[in-house]
Amino acid sequence: MITASFDLSNMFFRSMFIVGGYGDKGYSYDHQFELDQLMRKIATDIAFTIRQLDPAKVVFTLDSGSWRKKIEIEENEGYKANRDKKSSHINWDNIYATMDEFSKIMEDQGFIVSKVNSAEADDLMALWMDKITFQNNEHLITISGDEDIRQLVKFWPYEPGKKVFSLVYNPFTYKRGLPKKLYAPEAFNQWLKEDEGINDIFNTATDVDKDTFVKILTKDVEVEVVDGEDIGLRKIFCGDDGDNIPAIYTWMSKTAKGDPIERRITKAKYAKIKETYNLKDHHDLFDHTEAIFADIAKIAKHDPPFDMAKRFHRQIKLVILSKHVFPEQIVSDFEETADEMLKHDQPKVIGASVMTLLEGTRYVSDEARNHASESDIFKQMDDIAKSLF
């Protein structure tokens, strides 16, 4: 079985700028017409992706604050503080209301909508990854344009002939015409090429989802091999400017001309440290704490003024997506409802369209329901919105 987990918050904000444009000249989303265009765009993108991936179950994850904002960062004003200044011309209340409306529609349609107080969508996707793949031994494809989510690329070989994969699919491209990326571990490519034998149809160990993965990989979708653990490790050392997370250590130095300049652990320096100590994941850091501290001191040419173990713990909380890092309350709240959510029957996703996703809402009238084309829905939404001015 393959489950698709959508980063709904990420997809919504990307659709928002695609529909309304960037900068002060873009949509303000004050008008219902603009909001209906956004609803149409997100429904179109999700329906298309569902048709591409053909999952047995669909999960939507949403942000609900962030526990990381309580973590003190000495070097700056805090986690994602650089995002607090949002575009002033955009009506954010309307954006969030439209996202809530879409989420409620998806929940009413029978899909899983996952939201936990103080948890980001990233946290929930990691928890669903653990639940679907590690606990239930089933494949998962997480859909997001956020590169950080590639931490969730993993696989587990459970028994002979059976591998379980956690993959990440980016439904967006930076340039029209380029293939979309399905991020996967190296073992995924090897597994796809394995010859299982003609009699494997009678072998219960055979993975019946392999054909679905093969169908996904067309000229429009290609595999890119990544090491999920390396992505998290690198962020611990090098930081993440997009989330306002500093490198493990930054210090002031001078250029050859004597001008002040901020220095940090570079990707090349991180790679050297990783190779020296054969670091596989963040757990390995505490086996080499003092040695890594000494290496950083050599790079900076002075002893960093902090406790290395405490700095490791801080960085891990800020960047690593793992149930073992999250606050116990978030994991507990998730576990209380996840199994029950998975038990519920979901609507069939074969031939998913804007019409099937928005069935039963004001966006789909009896007249539009009798037509197969999604363009009927688009026209109807525009007409409804215009009438509300």
What's this model's pTM, rounded to 2 decimal places?
0.89
The pLDDT profile of the chain, 389 residues, written as one tens digit per residue, is: 899 999 999 999 888 888 887 666 678 999 998 999 899 899 999 999 999 999 999 999 999 999 999 999 999 999 998 876 666 788 989 999 999 999 999 999 999 999 999 999 999 999 999 999 999 999 999 999 998 999 999 998 766 567 899 999 999 887 888 899 999 999 999 888 876 544 444 444 456 788 899 999 988 999 999 999 999 999 999 999 999 999 999 998 888 888 889 899 999 999 999 999 999 999 999 999 999 999 999 999 999 999 999 999 999 999 999 999 999 999 999 999 999 999 988 888 888 888 889 988 888 876 656 655 666 666 666 666 566 54
Phi and psi at residue 287, in whole multiples of 5°? -85, -10
For the chain, the domains span: 2-226+327-387, 229-319
Q: Which alpha helices (DSSP H) does 164-305 contain, by range?
A: 186-193, 210-216, 228-238, 267-277, 289-300
State the number of CA atoms in the 13 A half-sphere of 28 facing the CB.
4
**Spatial CA neighbour of 382 closest among 20, 32, 19, 12:** 32
Angle at 237 between CA 232 and CA 241, to 5 degrees: 80
Residues 6+ apart with CB under 8 A from 32: 385, 388, 389
Burial class (CB in 10 A: 0-12, 13-18, 19+), 135: exposed
Q: What is the 3-state secondary structure (H, E, C) of 37-100?
A: HHHHHHHHHHHHHHHHHCCCEEEEECCCCCHHHHCCCCCCCCCCHHHCCCCCCCCHHHHHHHHH
2-226+327-387: CATH topology is Rossmann fold (3.40.50)
